[in-house]
Chain A
């Protein structure tokens, strides 16, 4: 009972580490993005100047998490001279809701009464006035614009008015754009771009060595009172020793496919959740199971297990039509082909039509036009969404496939 208890506890600790971005990125080597970003922001806070920075990098490379860490540190360092406004391109990409949200957060930050009914104009004027006031009070406003590229759609009025307000001497603000589009600054209009200071921080996926050391760090249990000493030591030894010998191979295989930090975490999460609760140690099998459960081939899986014989026939017929270089095919031409391939034609048209619809439903084939309703299903042209190689592999692996 006691043993089980701390094994569950260990799983819990590992899982909460995986789900907690702060733990993952909390290492500060001098030339890491963390220290660079911290230096930039804190200098503009202390020197009371304006700044704008873009954080670029693929999804899941920890842009947001690092920024969060930096902001937290700065809030501790200068509790009175920073206020943070967070906007997300997914939520506030239209100007009206963006200004509204900005006004709401400014109000909350400064204990002001926020009026829901305020118009777009009111809100933007309020923002400019607030910036001025904050500048006079030597308070830096940090604007975090997540999904920055989405703000660059349309008229870019938000970006323009924000950056334009920052041009005045009194204001004191930092605009941080986070985007996974590396060309995010090219999306800006000329008037916006000229007001933007082109500082960019690039977030790259970690190297193989880095991710390996990260992995070891993640999987090491703390040796203190929370766990029985023997267990923790044993667990850590197990991780360190067996990692070098056994996990490495699977891990490298995985990192060749997905190498961002988030993907690594996903992999780790699967491995940890497959941990054997009896022994309480991570084994090589856990990693292999995790690897296979993450690396999915939905179409092949469908062909292998879900596809009925009739549906396979239809797919093969469509493929052979494709080989004959018929530019268009629809249900009727597939049926014609099916009749010619399959001599003993006993299945009715209706059954075939339903099988055909099932394939469309599972998105192995799709309509080439999306005009819809003007024609019934039988006549609408379709195309295969699966490559011949995949089809071949799938048919080979299908267990209900007739020998031919």
Chain B
């Protein structure tokens, strides 16, 4: 800390008293104390071998017009620019294209993602750290170069740091300009890139930070600074009553089917086989989503399945149309099931996710076969919690007035209800009730009702499994016992934390807290099946 501070202090003093040039050596000394290799301005360049523009265009299929447009807007060396606003859906190549272009151009940029810098303080500090060529390490206690929370401090520090960097760039350019050609120059522009900019809207102080960042260019009044905003959402979602001069928009549309085919075909070993696979599979998936990440994640296991018949005979099989036909008939049934499961897994196709997906696929097919097997729950839960979950589900779905008839005389009352003839009026009412359920979602219930239902269920379960004493023990609850309450409340709170049950604020009229179950019917049925509990018997179906 101290070592870091001492060289910095005089620098600030020199800046404030005389705006004379600040030497780089100061910088280097400050950094050298702390780390093995001092950071220089060159560290603001994107690492990697030089890459040509044609390479970039060929490595991003379907993006050549966007790449050219950005290149034009960035302009030749040392030309100032107005702020850019790059937007387009997720996984359309916004960030990677910008970074690759800067690698090609070999110009310094300060990249900060608003996702990793999750509030304005951290964003400010990360930008300043990069600009001041500061590296966090043990010697400075992993501290930031500057502490700054307030926007006013940030703008002051930023201006100071930027003028510093720009002066250095200009100086180094002057010194090497006679030696090198234009190719090796890094110019005197510095670019600030804000990625995932749409997230700023959800920040705590977004109403002041957003206009600040949009007006940053006008506020700094430095032509050497270029700003680039990258966002998922279009500029019109950022309107506020503050107003600002809009940045120049650049739009990245989603890929077309042809582009996606090209992208997916890259890095495939057997191009021919894969393209025939895509012929069969891609179109139906493209109907649902056009996001590369999601598509590649779902197509990967499917492709393995597609290749299954091949692997028996070895890879050397001649590829012909007959073979294609056979393979495609083999894969057809899988496609429709995979279509339904397409979004279950997050877009990253890790091996873990893949196996998980396969399990789910199996579960799905089993369920469709109406087999007696239990739908496998992919998480563990205590029996008590399961009962609690089911009772919460029942309490949310069933109207409170019917509790007595459902639970009092076990089974008897609801038989009677089923026998009742559906009259015209009842049908009508049923429809409106159904509608209401669809619109309002699960109802709320007080704690007392949940506990009452829970005790009913537990007693039913005990009766039904009298012979199965083991199960009873595993349940570990004795109805009517005073000590059970605290245990159950504990379970309830953990269920609330896991977001299975939503705990609302206390009702102003009744005064008690109300709960609401958030699980779907599928899940409830699964849980019930794992307990061998006849849930459908207790579910009120108008």
The 0/1 profile, CB within 8 Å of A marked 1, for residues 487-510 of chain B is 000000000000000101000000
Chain B residues positioned under 8 Å from A111 (CB to CB): 17
The 0/1 profile, CB within 8 Å of B marked 1, for residues 13-24 of chain A is 001101111000
How far, in whole Å, are A382 and B444 apart by their CA atoms in the complex?
21
Known: A19-B223, A332-B438, A378-B441. A12 touches B75 (CB 8 A): yes
- By the criterion CB–CB under 8 Å, are B441 and A269 in contact? no
How far, in whole Å, are A59 and B442 apart by their CA atoms in the complex?
49
Chain A residues positioned under 8 Å from B236 (CB to CB): 298-299
Q: Does B219 contact A (CB under 8 A)?
A: yes
- A263 interface neighbour in B78, B245, B289, B438, Cβ under 8 Å: B245
How far, in whole Å, are A266 and B81 apart by their CA atoms in the complex?
10
Chain B residues positioned under 8 Å from A16 (CB to CB): 79-80, 223
- By the criterion CB–CB under 8 Å, are B502 and A351 in contact? no
The 0/1 profile, CB within 8 Å of B marked 1, for residues 48-84 of chain A is 0000000000011000100010000000000000000
Q: Does A88 contact B (CB under 8 A)?
A: yes
Q: Give chain B nearest CB distance to A90 CB in angstroms.
A: 5
- By the criterion CB–CB under 8 Å, are B81 and A19 in contact? yes
Chain B residues positioned under 8 Å from A270 (CB to CB): 73, 248
Q: How large is the interface on A (under 10, 10 to 19, 20 to 34, 35 or more residues)?
A: 35 or more
Max chain B C-beta neighbours (<10 A), residue from A97, A262, A273, A293: A273
Q: Does B358 contact A (CB under 8 A)?
A: no
Q: Name B336's closest neighbour in chain A (CB-CB).
A: A346
Chain A residues positioned under 8 Å from B72 (CB to CB): 273-274
- By the criterion CB–CB under 8 Å, are A308 and B248 in contact? no
Q: Does A118 contact B (CB under 8 A)?
A: no
How far, in whole Å, are A11 and B71 apart by their CA atoms in the complex?
14
Q: Does A185 contact B (CB under 8 A)?
A: no
Q: Name A301's closest neighbour in chain B (CB-CB).
A: B251
Chain B residues positioned under 8 Å from A59 (CB to CB): 243-245
Q: Give chain A nearest CB distance to B208 CB in angstroms.
A: 7
How far, in whole Å, are A92 and B152 apart by their CA atoms in the complex?
6
Chain B residues positioned under 8 Å from A375 (CB to CB): 441, 502, 516, 518
Q: Does A180 contact B (CB under 8 A)?
A: yes
Known: A348-B339, A351-B339. A298 touches B223 (CB 8 A): no
Selected interface stretch from B127-135, B341-349, B467-475: B341-349
Max chain A C-beta neighbours (<10 A), residue from B16, B79, B237, B440: B79
8 A Cβ contacts from B215-244 to A: 215, 218-219, 221, 223, 232-237, 243-244
Q: Does A336 contact B (CB under 8 A)?
A: yes
- By the criterion CB–CB under 8 Å, are A293 and B69 in contact? yes
- By the criterion CB–CB under 8 Å, are B288 and A310 in contact? yes
- By the criterion CB–CB under 8 Å, are B151 and A91 in contact? yes
How far, in whole Å, are A88 and B73 apart by their CA atoms in the complex?
29
- By the criterion CB–CB under 8 Å, are A294 and B248 in contact? yes
Chain A residues positioned under 8 Å from B439 (CB to CB): 328, 330, 332-333, 379, 381
- A305 interface neighbour in B78, B253, B343, Cβ under 8 Å: B253
Q: Give chain B nearest CB distance to A387 CB in angstroms.
A: 13
- By the criterion CB–CB under 8 Å, are A350 and B249 in contact? no
Q: Does A265 contact B (CB under 8 A)?
A: yes
8 A Cβ contacts from A348-381 to B: 348, 350-351, 353-355, 358, 361-363, 373-376, 378-379, 381
The 0/1 profile, CB within 8 Å of B marked 1, for residues 86-101 of chain A is 0010111100010011
- By the criterion CB–CB under 8 Å, are A306 and B248 in contact? no
Q: Does A347 contact B (CB under 8 A)?
A: yes
Q: Give chain B nearest CB distance to A353 CB in angstroms.
A: 8
Q: Does B425 contact A (CB under 8 A)?
A: no
- By the criterion CB–CB under 8 Å, are B289 and A355 in contact? yes
Known: A305-B254, A333-B438, A354-B343. A361 touches B232 (CB 8 A): yes
- By the criterion CB–CB under 8 Å, are B218 and A64 in contact? yes
- By the criterion CB–CB under 8 Å, are B232 and A310 in contact? no
- B251 interface neighbour in A296, A310, A379, Cβ under 8 Å: A296
How far, in whole Å, are A308 and B339 apart by their CA atoms in the complex?
14
- By the criterion CB–CB under 8 Å, are B438 and A355 in contact? no
Known: A363-B237, A374-B516. A306 touches B89 (CB 8 A): yes
Q: Give chain B nearest CB distance to A307 CB in angstroms.
A: 8
- By the criterion CB–CB under 8 Å, are A266 and B151 in contact? no
Q: Name A363's closest neighbour in chain B (CB-CB).
A: B237
Chain A residues positioned under 8 Å from B151 (CB to CB): 90-91
How far, in whole Å, are A296 and B236 apart by their CA atoms in the complex?
10
Interface of A is mostly: helix
Chain B residues positioned under 8 Å from A374 (CB to CB): 502, 504, 516
Q: Does A168 contact B (CB under 8 A)?
A: no
How far, in whole Å, are A92 and B150 apart by their CA atoms in the complex?
9
- By the criterion CB–CB under 8 Å, are A90 and B211 in contact? yes
How far, in whole Å, are A267 and B474 apart by their CA atoms in the complex?
74
- By the criterion CB–CB under 8 Å, are A269 and B288 in contact? no
Chain A residues positioned under 8 Å from B518 (CB to CB): 375-376
- B150 interface neighbour in A97, A308, A363, Cβ under 8 Å: A97
Chain A residues positioned under 8 Å from B244 (CB to CB): 59
Q: Give chain B nearest CB distance to A97 CB in angstroms.
A: 5
Q: Does B246 contact A (CB under 8 A)?
A: yes
Q: Name A60's closest neighbour in chain B (CB-CB).
A: B245
Known: A19-B223, A92-B152, A358-B289. A350 touches B234 (CB 8 A): no
Known: A8-B76, A266-B246. A108 touches B290 (CB 8 A): no
Q: Does B287 contact A (CB under 8 A)?
A: yes
Q: Does A309 contact B (CB under 8 A)?
A: yes
Q: Does B286 contact A (CB under 8 A)?
A: yes
Q: Name A12's closest neighbour in chain B (CB-CB).
A: B79
How far, in whole Å, are A362 and B235 apart by their CA atoms in the complex?
11
How far, in whole Å, are A15 and B17 apart by their CA atoms in the complex?
33
In the A-B complex, the 6 residue pairs with the closest CB atoms: A379-B441, A298-B234, A348-B340, A354-B343, A332-B438, A91-B152
A residues near B (Cβ < 8 Å) are: 8, 11-12, 15-16, 18-21, 59-60, 64, 68, 88, 90-93, 97, 100-101, 108, 111, 180, 262-263, 265-266, 269-270, 273-274, 293-294, 296, 298-299, 301-302, 305-306, 308-310, 328, 330, 332-333, 336, 346-348, 350-351, 353-355, 358, 361-363, 373-376, 378-379, 381, 399-400
A-B contact pairs, 15 of them (CB 8 A): A11-B75, A19-B81, A59-B244, A90-B151, A90-B219, A180-B243, A265-B82, A266-B82, A273-B81, A330-B441, A351-B288, A355-B289, A363-B237, A375-B502, A400-B286
B residues near A (Cβ < 8 Å) are: 16-17, 69, 72-73, 75-82, 87, 89, 150-152, 155, 208, 211-212, 215, 218-219, 221, 223, 232-237, 243-246, 248-251, 253-254, 256-257, 286-290, 336, 339-344, 435, 438-442, 502, 504, 516, 518, 520
17 extra interchain contacts, Cβ-Cβ under 8 A, other than A263-B245, A302-B234, A351-B340?
A8-B76, A12-B78, A19-B80, A59-B243, A60-B245, A91-B151, A91-B152, A262-B245, A265-B82, A273-B81, A296-B249, A308-B288, A308-B290, A309-B288, A330-B438, A374-B502, A379-B441
